[in-house]
Amino acid sequence: MAPQPILLSPSAVAKHGIKIRANESAFRENSATIVMPSKEAAFLNPVQEFNRDLSTIAIITWSKILDCEKRQRFDARMKARSKRSKTSEPDAKRLKTDQDEAPREYQPYKFKALEALSATGLRSIRYAKEIPLLGSVLANDLSATAVQALRRNLALNFPPDRPLEEWAPLQAHEEKEETPAQEEEKHDVHAMDAEEPPSMKIHPECKVHVNQGDAITLMYNHRDLPLRFDMVDLDPYGTASPFLDAAVQSVIDGGLLCVTCTDLAVLAGHNYPEKCWSLYGGVSIKAEYSHEAALRLVLHAIASAAGKYGRYIQPMLSLSIDFYLRVFVRVWSRPETVKQNASKTGLVYTCSKCSAFHVQPMGRGTASTNAKTGHAMWKFGSASGPPTDTHCAECGGSFHVGGPMWFGPLHDKTFCNELLATLDSGMHSVHTEPRIRGMVTTARDELDVPFYFHPAKVAGLFHCASPSMSDVLSNGLLNAGFRVSRSHCIPGSVKTDATRADVYDLYRTWIRTHPVNPERLKEGSSAKGLLSRVDDDGMPMTRRDYDLATEHPETNKVIQGAQTESKAVRYQMNPQANWGPGTAAKGHRKRVHRSLAPEEIARRTQEWREKKNEDTA
């Protein structure tokens, strides 16, 4: 369960030297305190804390990797300089140069970060307090009101009259029922605040610097090498696509780009393919694995933006989380590697009935090893296709085209292990640590193959009883020699290197002992097509018979996954009753529709009717 924010009254924060106005309250998330207009208005979705906790731990992990890489290059330079000084003949010029370049101790690298869309500054404040190797973070926002709130929160978290390292965490118990004396003290604090507004002064050594301006313009102004950021964080409302071109140019080689997209209705839905194409250069798909396809669409957009400038991306961690996506990629400059993008990008043909899919790569890349140097050499060419017929060989349905999207790795296993090691160190405490452990472990163990399937949904295609995961999915696939893992995207999902046809054969094997009611096989349905081939006894024909009875030794490991580890939660549970996005204010829908053109109202009405008919069917 996600933690609830700790709400703090003016009297509670006043005990720690923080002054807020009488009509204000504050909430605390880990190390940061943020002012809200009132306690009633201080709504914070508990799931979003996971985003900030995960980002903090991921950036800490990346910063240690970056620092280690810089240390190795420093040591190599020192070693080469020492070797050169021993082999060269001493002269006055050489001695002077050696003295000027005398070896010095390596200093840990303090990186420079940008939060392009900062709002109240909660994320930047947490980064400044919780990430040891952070040198500075530039918190930017276009809104003057947001920047004013940001400066206010910086003054609360980094007051000028206290050393930065001195901070007493505020606890939830400070909001207990107050005695009459304490209540009188609270009113005195309110009166003082009403007469004298809180100070807006910020500690001169505060790592957070404020900028008001357009995020895209700001990043374009930092394209030159000396001005680039080590880390850029994009966390907008909705899509991040307008910021990607500027972001991939404003980050250093090996720098980290953190991107959030909350427009899953576009990325993982199927009602707005034209919108998805406009924003991400790809078309979404309708299938149970649409959330993984959404990740691949976003990575394709980032890779395409970077490729224009001879840069390529290295996905470190790509997660579908609740109602948004969060990806962490490193950006590098190497035109030779950019050429591999075509072979890592492809279209996907998805059956409109049974969701069977076929991937069509956009290019072909073949690697070979140079016999003299031992380096990899790549040969590129056009991909062959099409990968399938016009109709699905399994059920007879037609295909819909999705993509192009990224078909390279979604995660870096080494980075995932380092991130878990960061948690294991015990030096960086976050409230959502169990979920971070579970989700990152599941992502690390995912097979590097496209798409997952959901057993219950496949059973629904056949109109059969859903088999247990252990008896059929794990035992059957593993006993047949296929690899199996879970997917982090949704509970109950399974990834395998078996084809969709192999999975359907497994279900046909299951149906032989658990027959389907013939009355449910209606003409034109997916079940009718999937079970159209039968033998003389009327049983489904299969190309492979699966062993469904013998338990494979790896079955429990696949099923339990990260849950076998202590303090790990694989999937988010609803943190409270009626959890989810809030409802719109009364009359909001009417006002919106009155502002629309008649043609737009007619189009939306028709889409609604078509969707309703699909759901009814």
- DSSP letter string, 5-38: PEEE-HHHHHTTT----TT-EEEEETTEEEEES-
Query: Any idea how long the chain is?
Result: 617
pLDDT band at 146 (very low <50, low <70, confident <90, very high): confident
Q: Is 390 within 8 Å of 349 (Cβ atoms)?
A: no
pLDDT of residue 596: 54
Which of 27, 325, 356, 10 minimizes the C-alpha distance to 172?
27
Cis check for the bond before 404: say yes or no (omega within 30 of 0). Answer: yes
3-state SS string over 43-73? Answer: CCCHHHHHHHHHHHHHHHHHHHHHHHHHHHH
d(CA 581, CA 574): 12
Least-confidence region, from 390-399, 401-410, 519-528, 552-561: 552-561
- Give, for 458, the enclosing helix (H) or strand (E): helix 455-462
What angle do helix axes 144-157 and 122-130 make, rounded to 10 degrees? 30
Which of 325, 333, 278, 276 minimizes the C-alpha distance to 306?
333
3-state SS string over 309-370? Answer: CCEEEEEEEEEEECCEEEEEEEEEECHHHHHHHHHHEEEEEEECCCCCEEEEECCEEEEEEC
Ramachandran assignment for 57, one of left (phi > 0), alpha (psi -120 to 50 degrees), beta (any other): alpha
pLDDT band at 80 (very low <50, low <70, confident <90, very high): confident
Sequence spans of domains, the chain = 452-560
What would the pLDDT profile of 340-363 be if each residue is shown by its tens digit? Answer: 999 999 999 999 999 999 999 999
d(CA 203, CA 216): 28
Task: Report percent pLDDT > 90 for the chain.
Answer: 55
Give the CA dihedral 161, 163, 168, 169, nearest 10 degrees: 100
d(CA 530, CA 191): 74
Please compute the mean of the pLDDT values over residues 588-604 and round it to a whole number. Answer: 51
Cis check for the bond before 103: say yes or no (omega within 30 of 0). Answer: no
d(CA 513, CA 186): 72
pTM: 0.85
Least-confidence region, from 120-134, 139-153, 517-531, 550-564: 550-564
d(CA 113, CA 38): 31
For residue 85, what are its two tokens?
């000084």
What would the pLDDT profile of 464-480 be if each residue is shown by its tens digit? Answer: 999 988 888 888 999 99
- Decide which of 517 and 590 is more confident: 517
pLDDT above 50 (res 41): no
Q: Is 268 within 8 Å of 323 (Cβ atoms)?
A: no
Ramachandran assignment for 362, one of left (phi > 0), alpha (psi -120 to 50 degrees), beta (any other): alpha
What would the pLDDT profile of 419-440 be if each residue is shown by its tens digit? Answer: 999 999 989 999 899 999 999 9
- Decide which of 99 and 365 is more confident: 365
What would the pLDDT profile of 268-304 be if each residue is shown by its tens digit? Answer: 998 899 999 999 999 999 999 999 999 999 999 999 9
Mean pLDDT value across the chain? 83
